[in-house]
Every structure is written in C-alpha cells, then in structure tokens.
Chains A and B, each alone.
Chain A
Amino acid sequence: MDHLDKLESRSIHILREAYSEFNNICMLWSVGKDSTVMLWLARKAFFGHVPIPLVHIDTSYMIPEMIEHRDKLAKKWNLDMIYGQDEETLKAGNTFPNGQATHLECCGRLKTDALKNTLNGNWRRYRYNHNKDKYEVDDNREPYTGVIVGARADEEGSRSKERYFSPRDRNNDWDIGDQPPEFWDQYKTDFAPGTHVRIHPLLDWTELDVWEYIQREKIPMVSLYFDQGEGKRYRSLGCGPCTETIDSTASTVDEVVEELKTGKFSNIAERDGRAQDKEDGGGLEELRKDGYM
C-alpha cells in the first residue's frame, strides 16, 4: 500500500466506525476540497452510496460557484443534502460585508451560531427534495450526535490537537486539556446524553495529500480552485468578501499539485488568505472552541 492508500483506508475505517456507532449522524460539506474528498471517501466506504446526510452552512456570502457545484453533485450522487443558515442575522443585516460586524463577529454568527443551531435542530433545516428538485423545510429537527468534519491536523495549530473522535459537551465546548485517549483503532463512541462527538477522518492528511488524491481519483472540484485565465485562483474557499485569491496560473489539478510541491506556495500556510485567522492572536482557536470548523 502506498501513502495515499494508507490514508484512504484509515479514513474509510473511521467513516464506517462513525456510521455504525452513532444513530444520528451527519457530515459537514463546505464544498471545499477537503470535505469533498471526504464525501468521495464516504462513497468508497459505502460502496457508491452515501447513507449519511450532508450538511452545508450557507452564510449567503458563499461564492456562487460553490452553491452551484453543491447542488450539481447532490443531484448526480443522489445525496441527502441539507443546509442551514442564520436567517435572523441575515435579515437584520448584521454582517461584516454590511459593515455591521467585525470579521470574527460575522463568522461567529453566520458560521458558528448557524452551525450550532442547525446541528442541534433549534433552527430550520432545509432538505433537498430530489423529486421536486428544490430545498424544502425539513421536518426532522432531531439533534445530530455525531458530526463528521473534514479538518486536517496540518492546517493550523489548534487543529493539530484534535482527535479522530473528539467530544464536545452540552455547550458545544471543546476541552483541549482533557481529551479522551485514542489508540489501537479504538475511538470514543460512547457519549453522555446531550453531548456530541466530532469525527475527523482526514486528520492525518496534508494539503498536498488532498490534491494528490483528487488527482488520482479524478474527484470533481469546483472551478474556483483553478485559474480561469486571469492569473488568479483560490487556494482555500469561504465567503466571497473574506477570502482572497492567490496569484497563480495553475488551471488544472496536475498544475495545482505541481505548484504545491515545487512552487512558491510550498512554504506558505494554506489559510493565509483567510481573514479571520489574523484578527487576533488566537482567532481560529477561539472560534473552534465555540464550535467553528
């Protein structure tokens, strides 16, 4: 088995453990490369099926291509697609692009709060109806007790502290100092009522692993990752107003892989273009404690 085979098998093993051990489970899909690889791994784990609902947190500021790509794959792969959003904040317009909130406040509402309340069922969920080809309000508001997330350890300091199965308590808190031990392919799959577990099948993958896997498996990616002739592309995806492009002429997966291996980005952190990481010394970590992915 080569390096990617090993990563693939471990991730599939974790996905299957999660599916078997949790009754009410979902997978977060941001439409970005990492969670799309994870979705692909789920199709492998379950032999072409995806028996787990996919949850997307739609801030309404997502780059439009992302929503298009999401719905295209949802149809093509017959996905159980769900989205949620912070409808109140959006209605009131208290967002960063409106000048009514800082970066962190905006992320805190549109991403963290929306995620928390979509997962616990307090806010409305919208589910894709394949027959009618549209999203409808979902009757099911049961809280998810297992949430599969595409975080990678190499992305950022706080993520390197995660477990494959990482518990969150009633308040969604993450006790970094007191995490469960994890060894011999045995994970924390028992949990007290009211708590839930985040599951991270991609924890061991690096950015380059992800792209090399996309290349090997020919996984369809949203076009934003590739230069469309203007010498710019996204390296990491998020909300339009807060995510910068990078100068790059890589227009295919092969070129992205080559660029990551040898080019000018081989030494620059991936999330360099993400504003919320910089605003305060521990920005992402604080967000993560609050439930940010």
Chain B
Amino acid sequence: MMNNKKGDKDLNLVIAGHVDHGKSTIIGRMLADTDSLPEGKLEQVKETCRKNSKPFEYAFLLDALKDEQAQGITIDSARVFFQTDYRQYIILDAPGHIEFLKNMVTGAARAEAALLVIDASEGVKENSRRHGYMLSMLGIKQIAVVVNKMDLVDYDEDTYNEIVAEYTDFLAELGMEAETFIPVSGMLGDNVADQSENMDWYHGKTVLEQLDSFENEDLPHNKPFRMPVQDVYKFTKGGDDRRIVAGTVGAGELNIGDEVVFYPSGKKSTVKTIEGFEEDKQHKVKVGKATGFTLDEQIYITRGELASRADEAEPMVSARIKANLFWLARQDLVKDKVYYLKVGTAKVKARLEKINRVIDASNLDQDESKEKIERHDVAEVVFKLDKAMAFDLAGEIEETSRFVVVDDFEIAGGGIISEAMEDEQSWVREKVMRRNYNWEQSLISREDRAEKYNQKSTLILITGEEDVGKKPTAKALEKRLFNDGKVVYFLGIGNLLYGVDADIKNGDNGHKEEHLRRLAEVSHLMLDAGAILVVTAVELSQSDLELIKTTVNPQQIETVWLGDKVTTDLEFDLHIPEFTSEDQVSSQIKGLLQDRGIIFRPW
C-alpha cells in the first residue's frame, strides 16, 4: 500500500553495534549528506568544537548533550530525523556501550529495520553478536550490516570478506540472514551516500540505497482481532451515558455487530457502536487504531482483559507460562521474589518458577545449571502467575505474546511467551470461562443494583482455626448488617454440603477443590444478585483463595483471619487476633467494609 505522500513510508531505523565502531559517525554523515540538518546545527557544533579545540567529527552532531560529549559515548536512543528523496527516516540511535543495553532495546524495539555497524579494523566483537541476538528477539527482521572504517584497513577486500563470513555464520545460528553487507567509511563518506571510488571491488548498494530498499512493516491485518482493554470509560458530564471499552487494536479488525469475547474472564457481548470524537461514524476499526466501542449488554469488564472476536481463534489463558526472556536490570532475576508481569494492559504478580537454560548472548553458549538470571542474560524460563492472563504465543500474534517484567518500580526485562502451561486453576478457569461465555445477561447492571441496595456486593470470608468463633461472628455480622438495612446473607457450608454438593463423594480425587468451586459458583450467583455474602471456612489457604478468585471477581472478596495463630499462607485483608465477643468482632468487620467503601460510613 504505497502512495507518494511523504510520511506514509516513514521508516524507524535502529543503528546497533559494538562501542566505538562508529554508529554516531555513520548517522552524522547521513544527516549531513542528505541535507537533513536544520540550518545552523552544523555551524553550532563546529563552533563548539572550535571553542573546545577539538577537531570536528560527524558523531558530534548527535552528541547534543554536554555530559555526553564528556563521556564520548552515545548514551540514549536519541531520535534523529533525516530524509532521502524517497522517504523520511527516524533513527533510534542504539548505543554500543554494554552498560546501555536497555537504551538499545528501547530504540530497537520500535525499529522496522536495523543497521548493524562493525569496525573493519576490530572485527566482530561481543556486542556485535549481542545486539544481533537482541534484534532477533525483538522481532527486527530486516538487517543490513555496515562494515565501517574501511579506510583504516586500506579498503582491503579480504578483511571485509572475513567479517562477512564470520557474521553471516553467527546470524545463521539465530535463524537470521542479513539483507546485505556494505563496506564503508563513515568518516570519509565512502559508500554512505555516494559510491566509493576506493573500493572498485564492491558493486553493491550504498547505505542510503539499502535504506531506501527496506520495506515498511505491515501491521498484522490478517490476524485474529486483539485489543488489550485500556479502560472502560463512563464520563457522565453533559449527560453522556455511553460506556466505552477503550484500547488500541493490536491485530485484526472489528465491526459493528461482531460478537466480542473478553479474556481471561470469557465474558461475551456484541459490538453496538464504534466510538470516536469529531469523526465520521465508523462501522469497522482496523489494526493500529486507538479506538473504543460500546456493547449491547452491560457486562462488567476491566482494564487488562484482552478483547477478541467470537468467530476467530481465541487467545491462550493461563497462570503459568514458558517464555524466552532478556534481563536488563542490575539486580538478578531470582526465584522466591515477587515481580510484576505486564502483557498488553494486564499486570499480574509473578514468580520465577524454573530456569530451563541461560544463553550467553555474545557467543550463544548455553548453561542449564544457573540458579539466577543476571544482567544481559538471555534465558528460557517458566513463570508462575498470581492469576491467569490472556495472551498469544510468539510466532502466532507477536503483539500479544510480548511481556515485560517489572522489578522494584522499573522495567527490568522483557520476553516473548512460547507456551501456555497447565496450572492448578486451569480446570476451574475453563468452567468459569464457559459459564461467562454463556451467561444470560439481565437488564439490571451491577451498578444499578449497588445503587438500589446502597452497597457493593461482596463475599466476606471469615477463616481461622477451629473453634475460634467464626460462626458466631458471621451470624452476628449478618444480623448487624441486616438491621442496618443491608441485603446480606450468611451461607453455612453445611447448607451446601448436603444439597448442592450431595453428589461429591469424600475420597473422590479433588473432592475438596470441587466443594470449593461450587461454593464459589453459588457465591458468584449471590453476588450477581447484589448481596453481601458471609461465609466461614476452616484454615483457608492462599491456593484455596486463588481457586475462589478464579470463580469470583477478586475485587469483590474480603478475607478475615480470626484468632491469634495464623496457620496458613493466606494473604488476608484483616486479622482479628482475639475473639472478644461476636458483637465486637462483627463491628470490626463492619469497619473494614466501611473502609473499603462497600457500605456507607456516616461521618
């Protein structure tokens, strides 16, 4: 889809390679030779050089920052714009110093093509390989290798050919192939914009010719529709009653009337309108567009769900993933530490479960015995997630297979998901997704009920050791809330056991889990009806809670541990160490509900 308007063919370009191999020089030369510098810029830099008694170099054009010039290395993926007759380029300057790999990743992840610079006099170095590896992981498919500083090796063809052979082999191991190799001198301008007269043995393209022959990356049009939900907006100002599901289309397309399914919840509805602001009414929205749509039914979904179409392939949903990962942070990636994983707009707590192997990106050596992942390592790992999320696999839909790992407020690494693995809640989740998918929506929304009953429907789980006063507390709480006029219900476990659960035989495999699942499903119904539900259970563990959370919206659960001895790993919301009286304890729990805004607190 080419047209002649400048802008549509713009190409994001990254320049990678080992430190001091001449990336900035090549860029400076391209800017100067294509007349792409703003008037005054060249003079300004030359003037700075004169003042500091330094010979002018093309690299200085990029080193606009003072401290950067002091260090003599490019420290960030600065964006630089230049134009050829054919199109505009945005250079995301990837620096070569090993300390700055995270800047290189920042630049390279958005590039459609890469120039990898290798110094002819130094040959293939650690970062020549590391950057090549990173480019392949980041999904850059078009790479041209620039063999720079040919002037320093007397424009020797054999030196050039050796580098070409060595690096071609390396790329082949990664399953990649360079578009071309070009011998140049950035300093003197050979083969950058103009064909060199010093290398009559080379008949290929100049750097600029190669750039112009890179193709613009096509957005994933012909893939199943995917849109990570950024938010659901309901701005009531000016009587606006639209409830808009907002996000950017990551793949495929969506039409009015399409059935959409949101994962991991599995909830389903039909697209009623496609919304915009000051634009013609749209019937279809395509990949790449930041958009929003309304639904026929008022289903409750939140940020982090992945929207897909019912008539297309569904995404994976799991709380365990296998992934290829690169690590950028100074702190190691270790087991027994809580991280956050971000996929699309979903963000979930995650723990490193297993390191399958660590790969040294600079020589592709593998290590299967490492217990931690260090800065600049690349590895195959398994993550266990706190709750399930929706994604696709690498090789199927790239956009939704990519994740980052957040450690201590910082993005510390990134990766691509290669496999959705079984987890403990898989069997429940499948049932829940089927339930949600087939859910018969009433005309009354969650908000309607909350407004009517003046409360947010919530499941209160009171747990602790046996005989610590859980049941008296639960009944007292029910009565207290009831007297306040709340819609509240105490659900005794025994009341389920001989009815809903009558067919489960103790001793059956997984009978405890099935009891829990049914308890959670019954709770789900009552919460949907708008009630506050009080349930007691003996020594609830975190994995029990996780099973319940798979079934009931985690935001609608409050847990209370009663008794001074905490005997499980449950992460509860409130701990009441001493059972003073049911009156007092139930009053404490009521306070929690008020704190959380579940019921109203008078001032």
Give A residues with C-beta under 8 Å from B: 1-6, 8-10, 12-13, 16-17, 19-20, 43-49, 51, 78, 153-154, 156-158, 160-161, 163, 176-177, 179-186, 188, 190-192, 203-204, 206, 209, 217, 267-269, 272, 281-282, 285
Contact = CB atoms under 8 A, between A and B. Distances in A.
Nearest to A51: B235
Contacts of A206: 81
A183 B110 contact: yes
Interface stretch (B162-170, B387-395, B406-414, B476-484): B406-414
Contacts of B286: 1
A176 B248 contact: no
A181 B328 contact: yes
Task: Rank and list the top 4 A-B pairs by shortest CB-CB distance, nearest first.
Answer: A157-B64, A3-B7, A183-B109, A181-B102
- Among B105, B248, B414, chain A packs the most CB atoms within 10 A around the CB of B248
A61 B10 CA distance: 40
Interface stretch (B71-79, B501-509, B514-522, B550-558): B71-79
Contacts of A47: 233, 235, 240, 242, 244, 275-277, 292
A13 B278 contact: no
Given A3-B10, A16-B230, A47-B242, A190 B402 contact: no
A291 to B, nearest CB: 17
A16 B238 contact: no
Interface string B391-430: 0000000000011101001110010000000000000000
Contact of B288 (A6, A154, A281): A6
16 contacts: A3-B8, A4-B7, A5-B288, A9-B248, A47-B275, A160-B80, A176-B67, A180-B410, A181-B106, A181-B328, A186-B414, A190-B406, A190-B409, A191-B409, A267-B38, A272-B40
Interface residues of B, dominant DSSP: mixed
A16 B109 contact: no
B109 A17 contact: no
Nearest to B71: A177
B289 A9 contact: yes
B434 interface: no
A281 B340 CA distance: 42
Interface size class of B (residues with CB under 8 A): 35 or more
Contact of B248 (A13, A203, A217): A13
Nearest to A269: B38
Given A209-B7, A268-B40, A269-B38, 7 more contacts: A9-B290, A44-B278, A47-B235, A49-B235, A181-B103, A188-B411, A203-B79
A19 B244 CA distance: 15
Given A160-B80, A182-B411, A285 B65 contact: yes
Contact of B106 (A6, A43, A163, A209): A163
B109 to A, nearest CB: 3
B66 A184 contact: no
A285 B66 contact: yes
B496 to A, nearest CB: 38
B237 interface: yes
Interface of B: 5-8, 10, 38-41, 48, 64-68, 75-76, 78-81, 90, 102-103, 105-106, 108-110, 138, 219, 230-231, 233, 235, 237-238, 240, 242, 244, 246-248, 275-278, 286, 288-290, 292, 303, 328, 340, 342, 345, 402-404, 406, 409-411, 414
B231 A20 contact: yes
A183 B138 contact: yes
B251 to A, nearest CB: 13
Nearest to A179: B76
Given A8-B290, A16-B230, A183-B110, A44 B276 contact: yes
A150 B436 CA distance: 42
A26 B105 CA distance: 29
Contacts of B40: 268-269, 272
- Among A3, A44, A185, A204, chain B packs the most CB atoms within 10 A around the CB of A185
A144 B303 CA distance: 22
Given A17-B230, A47-B275, A5 B75 contact: no
- Among B10, B290, B406, chain A packs the most CB atoms within 10 A around the CB of B290
A246 B340 CA distance: 51
A209 B409 CA distance: 34
Contact of A1 (B48, B276, B288, B292): B288
A133 to B, nearest CB: 18
Contact of A2 (B5, B81, B237, B303): B5
B105 A160 contact: no
A78 B238 contact: yes
A160 B78 contact: yes
A78 B409 contact: no
Contacts of A156: 64
Nearest to A44: B277
A192 B138 CA distance: 28
B112 to A, nearest CB: 12
A270 to B, nearest CB: 8
Contacts of A282: 65-66
Contact of A16 (B242, B246, B409): B246
A63 B465 CA distance: 72
Given A181-B103, A190-B409, A158 B290 contact: no
Contacts of A2: 5, 7-8
Nearest to A191: B409
A188 B411 CA distance: 7
Contact of A183 (B8, B233, B290, B414): B414
B507 to A, nearest CB: 47
Contacts of A158: 64-65
Nearest to A157: B64
A48 B230 contact: no
Contacts of A190: 340, 406, 409-410
Contacts of B108: 183
Contacts of A78: 237-238
B467 to A, nearest CB: 42
Contacts of B238: 78
B404 A217 contact: no
A94 B5 CA distance: 50
A161 B66 contact: no
Contacts of A13: 230, 248, 290
Nearest to A217: B278
B75 A177 contact: yes
A1 B289 contact: yes
Nearest to B343: A186
- Among B79, B235, B406, chain A packs the most CB atoms within 10 A around the CB of B79
A47 B303 CA distance: 17
A184 B68 CA distance: 27
A209 B572 CA distance: 52
A204 to B, nearest CB: 7
Contacts of B340: 190
B102 to A, nearest CB: 4
Contacts of A45: 246, 290
B352 to A, nearest CB: 18
A184 B106 contact: no
Contacts of A48: 235, 240, 277
A5 to B, nearest CB: 7
B286 to A, nearest CB: 8
A209 B238 CA distance: 32
Contacts of B138: 183
B342 A186 contact: yes
Nearest to B279: A44
